[in-house]
Amino acid sequence: VTGTEVLTGRVTDRNGPWLAEQLRRLGVDVGQIVVVGDRPDDLRSALAFLGAGNDLLITSGGLGPTADDLTAEVVARVQGRPVRLDSELEKRITAIVDRLSVRFGGLRNPEATAAATRKQAMVPEGATVLEPTGTAPGLVVPVAGGRTGPPVIVLPGPPRELQQMWPAAVDATQVRALLAGAPELRQRTLRLWGVPESELAATLRRVDGELAGLEVTTCLRDGELEIVSRYDPEAESAQVRLVDAVRADFPAQLFSADGASVDELVLHGLVDRGWTAAVLESATGGGISARLTRMSNGAEAFSARILGGLVVSSEAAVGALDGHCAELVGPASPDLARAMARAARAAFGADVGIGVTAIDGLETVHLSVLTKDSERARSLIVSGATQTARQRIGPVVMHLLRLALTDQ
């Protein structure tokens, strides 16, 4: 992963994780991810380090038109292949740039643009060109004859461009030949809520002798414990023993044995019951509404289940809820959270109402998930930055919703 903006933390790398998941589906285990800045020497030494222990290298980024975009050039040198102008490719890039420039009201500097295009059309000898999905082409660059080392797939940095180009990269002859030898690599995920990591460690230690062939990792995230195993299909029975052991020790806490997230379980729970949900939130400023609607992600059956949300960050906002808000006054408390959940149900005509409120600075947050005949409430002490606090609240709301829908 190249780019000073990623190395210095201004931009989060989305390509490494995305590629890792694509590779896993193809049976390829990812060895390392290295992030380097826009310094040719650093990219060169990273390629040398990675080339020693891997069968395939992939780069992302550094294919743009500016002077700090050097990836193609460095990869060509490392692979021992001189670059040549591909004038047909140059024409195709020019056509793309011309089309794009219309959006910006025409080209301001045609010579500069032509120079940038020519730079992007320089192709290492013997490399396969991957057609641009933005303006930059990608490459598959095998090592030159007489040298040894893995081929390098060169992909653009913008995640959308990289993702659109990926099928062509996988389809390149050289990459196909490599992948033909990859075995199936299974991955299964278990999720628990309300278990400390040390207790889970005890369970795993107890059955350790029966888990041969599994690479098991555990991870504490958003208040959930995630257990992921990766294995060859031959180790399937070991995986079954792992699931049995975890279920035996934590029957109520194991909420997902097939990798389904709490969001997915909530969504399916709403669909199964034919229920709808609505939110009235202050502390989380739209975060819960955004999470609920985001998880439905456009699917008809799901999005109809989330009726809406009202984000109240001031007294004035309460006015928008005429007639449903007589009780919505006073300091944050479990009672206020319940009144908000009730108002959400009434205002939107929803089956499940969610109320979230907090005392100043998010020190204590009160949550209520209300159905026709049940309430699940929780008060949380969350210190730290608003953003961090919000990240802790979301999962608790989702689990209360899940419990409300499964009647536990």
189 to 228, contacts with its own copies by CB under 8 A? 194-202, 204-205, 208, 215-221, 226, 228
Residue position matching structure tokens 């080339």: 51
Binding track, positions 233-252, relative to its own copies; x by CB under 8 A:
--------------------
Reading the block at residue 340, the tokens are 């908000």
Q: Which of residues 338-367 bind its own copies (CB under 8 A)?
A: 347-350, 361-362
> For its own copies, which is the closer residue by CB, 177 or 252?
252
CB of 231 to its own copies, least distance (A): 13
Q: Which of residues 40-69 bind its own copies (CB under 8 A)?
A: 42, 45-46, 49, 53, 64-68
Please state, in angstroms and rounded to a whole number, the distance separating the CA atoms of residues 380 and 397. Answer: 11
Say which residues have a Cβ less than 8 Å from residue 302's Cβ, sequence separation at least 6.
Answer: 267, 270, 271, 295, 296
Find the helix packing angle between 110-120 and 87-103, rounded to 10°: 130
Judged by CB under 8 A, the residue of 81, 188, 324, 345 near its own copies is: 324
Q: Which of residues 369-408 bind its own copies (CB under 8 A)?
A: 384-388, 390
The distance of Cα 88 from the centroid of its chain, to the nearest Å, equals 37
167 counts as binding its own copies under rule CB under 8 A = no
Binding track, positions 78-107, relative to its own copies; x by CB under 8 A:
-------------------x--xx--x--x
> For its own copies, which is the closer residue by CB, 145 or 326?
326
311 counts as binding its own copies under rule CB under 8 A = yes
Question: For 244, what's the count of Cα atoms within 13 Å in the CB-facing half-sphere?
Answer: 10
Judged by CB under 8 A, the residue of 154, 307, 328, 339 near its own copies is: 307
Judged by CB under 8 A, the residue of 173, 313, 374, 406 near its own copies is: 313
CB-based contact 47:147 (threshold 8 Å): no
Instruction: Give CA separation, 28 vs 130, 208, 232, 366, in Å.
Output: 21, 25, 12, 45
Amino acid symbol at 341: A
Please state, in angstroms and rounded to a whole number, the distance separating the CA atoms of residues 320 and 312. Answer: 9
> For its own copies, which is the closer residue by CB, 17 or 82?
17
